[in-house]
Structure 1
């Protein structure tokens, strides 16, 4: 059993469970020829949005690289990136490749040669203030009509000139001190650009999305995903309807429901479709007195694209209480189901069920588990509601082992859908957790001040079980018509990379061990593999420039995976890991330089003498403030330095200058100005203790 502390959130629970030991002694393919991309880009040579098309299929129809010649795929060029998050999706248009990494640093390259054309740094880390304590940097960007769009951690939405990188306009989408921040990619549709935000695990906030005029930056409309205080009135009839599904003084907690990742546009229905987040706090008993469905949490919500007016919704987890958000990518397709062509939306959210939904009305067509599920026996197709397992809501402080755990059976890294194969390809996760809220005061509950995450429940990972410690993952080829797996490939650790499918009968995915692999889409047979010398988690893209098809992917371990710390079975050193842009082409001959060997030697600390009580207090404070970036158990996983190897830690004055003084804010290290000397010294003492353990002392 891992350590448990009040108010644990998902990544904090990972951090505590992983690191606070000192506190506790193939079947045949069923390709459907009727399946096609109803929202294909006009130009298959380009990849202009996060999922290429408005329907977010993460599918390129190009066939120049295919299952017959992919063995000849070679490196065309590479570009070394600065430290910072590189787990983001590029876009490409008219022979130019655009990437956003770190805290929204945007670069443009000549796609065929890798020549850097321009770079734009919005200085978001310094502008973010306390918002920097949550989130890990940007996940993607968008291109449309000569402009590149990107969000920033401090909440701006920027439009950059695609030729020069100069700012065309900037819109502040959040308030300065509200806890909201942006890590997701904007989407562009019908001359508009839309952005959401994160923050519901950090602050008492109410989710919303905002649409702007893509040319001018003028705000067009805003849709809140959960209702506010009824005494203030409701913005629209949808919020009035949603309020009837809440109880108590929910608005005091914000409610949550942030749209931090998934958005999909259906041009046929003129719908912008949102995937909404979990509740704030997670615990339904605190948030809403354990009553009501709490719309529109953990829901798929369709809005009129022109006005932002509510059209329909489907809620995957009524009364959500486990961080089972519906923020994973959603893909559109037309499928032949039961002898009729259906316009569908497909999604594989965290809760472990694969959903096929009629996107014209939001009605459930089918849902079946694609991973191990313990919280529900099935989804009732008549009502659309899950049939929950008794005890799943951890009643009366009881413990319940949930599969999937709060990491989910599918994280934010996207799946892909191939209309050629008729299959979805899911980077699936197998990892459970035990939930309980014993010891939490559920009346007049308040977030613990300064805590990075606080969900009002205790998810506990079985990290001391060798068979389950690191979890497992698979690339699953899923038939959405028959609702069953066609093939599976086991992948390393608890987290596989984002997925891309192509018209050449190929599926590309990277792994945390640095393998970037192309599989046959119809069989799962590995056809090509490249050693990237660093974890490959970012979703790949494919496009054509000067008559040749290219594949591009970014390397480096960052974002939420860095929080896993000791749960990650490979080491990715913050300072030396190879964060790069890799671009491939048939018969490419470029080579990577020899891999730099990381020095993972713990710092020398001959004068250190452990104080168990101080280390125990420091472990809790490290989990509350530091582990989300520096890794569970002080085991760094690449987003920030492994502090056990940092020569700064033994020097108290320098450590304090960074933690409280903000000396490294520009590097993404937030300032914790409220921490007193005792707390800072306890954190430092804990890290020194863990370094001593790593040295074998």
Structure 2
């Protein structure tokens, strides 16, 4: 959508919302008519998962009065998370799923529960980019969270005491959990991630909310036919695979989004990419490869398959459907239809009938060049031939593997009929690896995609950019677009007061007009923000809460130094008078040991390892984006024993650094030479000229 403009395409496509100026201390009665919005008890606010609050006390007329009510500093390595608010208490998990309960009015910490992930055996704790937890679930006074080492735990919300714990990765020892669980009736359902790293067969598991007893398990892709199939759905799916796919696991992990539909007592799963990405390896004869890259509807009580819709048959690009699954009703013709709306990585916005999974509309919400359109008769994409990079050719594809929309929340307002999507525009080259026929999985914490390197003779992709896109769901077209800084920004929420709140990577927390995208209010949060805000009411007063914290594989401007990030809870209300401490950052210098002799061959080995195992956290060229320390400035790499203790032995496991126990001595040494080499490149010219090196 290159022609998007910051204006409404069709007059009257949205309602202009006033909402009135409710006096401080009172919540508009209009909110009660739509569902009170008093609590934010689900990941997406309510069971519709639409990241919408009907509260109107804070609105587009009085937004200038919004101020900070309180803040709370957090001691954690990661705070990319969405909180909950129930009965005047804010709940959230950060880092290694450390749960917090905070008084929503005063900001006082009520309790904290640490599941002690870091003390688990290093072999159990795989880490995807050092991520912490993205969200938690709540029902009837109980909190639920997954842990990195594969547990699903239930904790009493009043006292912070463990109620039960189950091991859910018993069939996926190489998996890990970063996404939230989902409550579905009497069960809580949990998935997991890991299908970028190892041969994994995705599944979700349901447990009774009160006892933790396993209710059912549903696999996303079929296993070895010789072992039989768990159900008819797997038997059907096996017909869409070729070769010996089960040796590769297949992938299909449900690592983030789900939604529970009480109307049909179903849970909808957003399924993941294949493992490896490249279909020519895992399913060499082609096929749709069900149920990769799909929305799958299951009976919430039994896990029985009901229907599916696949967005990317035979997915070979890391496209997945882990993005928001939101439920609403839309009038189509003269009939009000229950629909599911979804904006996954591939750049198309989908509207599905929730009853039967039928595709009702689809159109691109962002720049994409892999498909001409979605065929409304078949529901399948009409791919351009180049997208499959045939005959050894490469293809510069929009969007790149991170997608046009990531896990940052989309919001949908039933008042405007618009969905608000944090959108990315970036491209990458796709090509087969040189060793396609002999490709082998590399064990350990290495990203195994089965995709080749970018051609050295090709021009670089165009600069990446981002925007907030408002999508007219009923009209199947854009309404407006706001350019935003960098590539990755925070999740969005919408409110009944005609507002859209979003945190940005430049450190601002912003309120936009839900009608036309005008920036109405901004707050200097002193840190980038990736998680979404929430809004709730306590004692007749509306609050907005967001957690600050930023992480990326790429450096941002400004750069959020891992050690100097201000990871906080920020809570706002009308006429809030609190202030944040003044900023006192100090530039951390690049470190060097002038007596260290860089061996070029060792550094070359280290570069290869770094770009497969370390770059996701520590950044391209060691220029970190907040997820982990900038190794050029770290004293750890100056001492060989300390470096090995951190990298291989897990000395800093409690701060999010995994243990690469499979690394050989020469791997660790190669990494250290690469770090020292890159550090010297970052030194002033005079200092760099004195550095020692050897090799050719």
Match of 1:11 in 2: none
Indicate whether 1:229 and 2:212 are aligned.
no
Match of 1:190 in 2: 185
Indicate whether 1:577 and 2:565 are aligned.
yes
Indicate whether 1:91 and 2:84 are aligned.
yes
User: Does the 8 Å contact 1:408/1:429 carry over to 2?
Assistant: yes
* Aligned-pair CA distance for 1:662: 2.1
Match of 1:446 in 2: 440
User: Does the 8 Å contact 2:271/2:292 carry over to 1?
Assistant: yes
- When the two structures are aligned, how many residues end up with a matched partner? 659
1:532-569 C-alpha deviation (Å, 9 max, x unpaired): 000011111000112111000010113xx2xx234x34
Match of 1:3 in 2: none
Match of 1:79 in 2: 72
* Aligned-pair CA distance for 1:41: 9.6
* Aligned-pair CA distance for 1:677: 2.2
Indicate whether 1:669 and 2:657 are aligned.
yes
Indicate whether 1:548 and 2:531 are aligned.
no
* Aligned-pair CA distance for 1:229: 0.6
Return the alpha-carbon distance in structure 1 between the equivalents of residues 635 and 433 of structure 2: 40
1:638-696 C-alpha deviation (Å, 9 max, x unpaired): 12111111112111121112222222222221222232222211111111111111113
Match of 2:25 in 1: none
What SS class does the counterpart of residue 388 from structure 2 fall into?
coil
What SS class does the counterpart of residue 549 from structure 1 fall into?
strand
User: Does the 8 Å contact 1:41/1:52 carry over to 2?
Assistant: no
Return the alpha-carbon distance in structure 2 between the equivalents of residues 231 and 570 of structure 1: 55
* Aligned-pair CA distance for 1:518: 0.3
Match of 2:14 in 1: 31
1:498-545 C-alpha deviation (Å, 9 max, x unpaired): 000000000001111101100110111111100000001111100011
Match of 1:106 in 2: 99
Return the alpha-carbon distance in structure 2 between the equivalents of residues 478 and 128 of structure 1: 46
Closer/same/farther in 2, CA of residues 246 and 220 from structure 1, 3 Å limit:
same
Indicate whether 1:281 and 2:276 are aligned.
yes
Segment drifting more, 274-283 vs 654-663: 654-663
User: Does the 8 Å contact 1:396/1:438 carry over to 2?
Assistant: no
Match of 1:261 in 2: 256
Return the alpha-carbon distance in structure 2 between the equivalents of residues 462 and 73 of structure 1: 51
Return the alpha-carbon distance in structure 2 between the equivalents of residues 408 and 421 of structure 1: 26
Indicate whether 1:536 and 2:520 are aligned.
no
* Aligned-pair CA distance for 1:291: 1.4
Segment drifting more, 665-674 vs 455-464: 455-464
Closer/same/farther in 2, CA of residues 461 and 118 from structure 1, 3 Å limit:
farther
Return the alpha-carbon distance in structure 2 between the equivalents of residues 283 and 128 of structure 1: 32
Match of 1:619 in 2: 607
Match of 1:687 in 2: 675
Match of 2:203 in 1: 208
1:411 aligned to 365, 386, 406, which one? 406
Indicate whether 1:125 and 2:118 are aligned.
yes
1:37-89 C-alpha deviation (Å, 9 max, x unpaired): xxx99652001111011221000011111111111111111111113110100
User: Does the 8 Å contact 1:191/1:213 carry over to 2?
Assistant: yes
* Aligned-pair CA distance for 1:605: 2.3
User: Does the 8 Å contact 2:36/2:55 carry over to 1?
Assistant: no
User: Does the 8 Å contact 1:125/1:132 carry over to 2?
Assistant: no
* Aligned-pair CA distance for 1:340: 2.7
* Aligned-pair CA distance for 1:485: 1.1
User: Does the 8 Å contact 2:602/2:674 carry over to 1?
Assistant: yes
Match of 1:45 in 2: 38
Match of 1:588 in 2: 576
User: Does the 8 Å contact 2:155/2:162 carry over to 1?
Assistant: yes
What SS class does the counterpart of residue 284 from structure 2 fall into?
coil
Indicate whether 1:644 and 2:632 are aligned.
yes
- Show the 5 A alignment for 1:107-506: 107-127=100-120, 129-130=122-123, 131-135=125-129, 136-175=131-170, 178-442=173-437, 445-458=439-452, 460=454, 468-469=462-463, 471-506=464-499
Match of 2:23 in 1: none
* Aligned-pair CA distance for 1:353: 0.4
Closer/same/farther in 2, CA of residues 116 and 463 from structure 1, 3 Å limit:
farther
Match of 2:554 in 1: 565
Segment drifting more, 412-421 vs 661-670: 661-670
Q: Please, what TM-score do these two structures have when normalized by structure 2?
A: 0.92
Closer/same/farther in 2, CA of residues 366 and 164 from structure 1, 3 Å limit:
same
User: Does the 8 Å contact 1:440/1:457 carry over to 2?
Assistant: no
Return the alpha-carbon distance in structure 2 between the equivalents of residues 355 and 636 of structure 1: 35
User: Does the 8 Å contact 2:35/2:54 carry over to 1?
Assistant: no
Return the alpha-carbon distance in structure 1 between the equivalents of residues 217 and 34 of structure 2: 26
What SS class does the counterpart of residue 522 from structure 2 fall into?
strand
User: Does the 8 Å contact 1:125/1:153 carry over to 2?
Assistant: no
What SS class does the counterpart of residue 621 from structure 2 fall into?
helix
User: Does the 8 Å contact 2:466/2:486 carry over to 1?
Assistant: yes
* Aligned-pair CA distance for 1:337: 2.3
Closer/same/farther in 2, CA of residues 544 and 374 from structure 1, 3 Å limit:
same
Match of 1:17 in 2: none
Match of 1:634 in 2: 622
Return the alpha-carbon distance in structure 2 between the equivalents of residues 534 and 460 of structure 1: 33
Return the alpha-carbon distance in structure 1 between the equivalents of residues 462 and 675 of structure 2: 26
* Aligned-pair CA distance for 1:483: 1.3
1:272-317 C-alpha deviation (Å, 9 max, x unpaired): 0000000011111111114110000000000111111000000000
Return the alpha-carbon distance in structure 1 between the equivalents of residues 616 and 221 of structure 2: 27
Return the alpha-carbon distance in structure 1 between the equivalents of residues 456 and 523 of structure 2: 33
Closer/same/farther in 2, CA of residues 290 and 440 from structure 1, 3 Å limit:
farther
* Aligned-pair CA distance for 1:396: 2.6
1:1-56 C-alpha deviation (Å, 9 max, x unpaired): xxxxxxxxxxxxxxxxxxxxxxxxx12451379xxxxxx99652001111011221
What SS class does the counterpart of residue 397 from structure 1 fall into?
coil
User: Does the 8 Å contact 1:256/1:278 carry over to 2?
Assistant: yes
Return the alpha-carbon distance in structure 2 between the equivalents of residues 149 and 171 of structure 1: 11
User: Does the 8 Å contact 1:62/1:502 carry over to 2?
Assistant: yes
Return the alpha-carbon distance in structure 2 between the equivalents of residues 165 and 644 of structure 1: 40
Match of 1:659 in 2: 647
What SS class does the counterpart of residue 231 from structure 1 fall into?
helix
* Aligned-pair CA distance for 1:177: 6.8
What SS class does the counterpart of residue 468 from structure 1 fall into?
coil
User: Does the 8 Å contact 2:126/2:174 carry over to 1?
Assistant: no
Return the alpha-carbon distance in structure 1 between the equivalents of residues 35 and 222 of structure 2: 38
Return the alpha-carbon distance in structure 1 between the equivalents of residues 485 and 623 of structure 2: 18
* Aligned-pair CA distance for 1:112: 0.5
* Aligned-pair CA distance for 1:488: 0.8
User: Does the 8 Å contact 2:243/2:285 carry over to 1?
Assistant: no
Structure 1: give runs of 5+ residues left out of the alignment.
1-25, 34-39
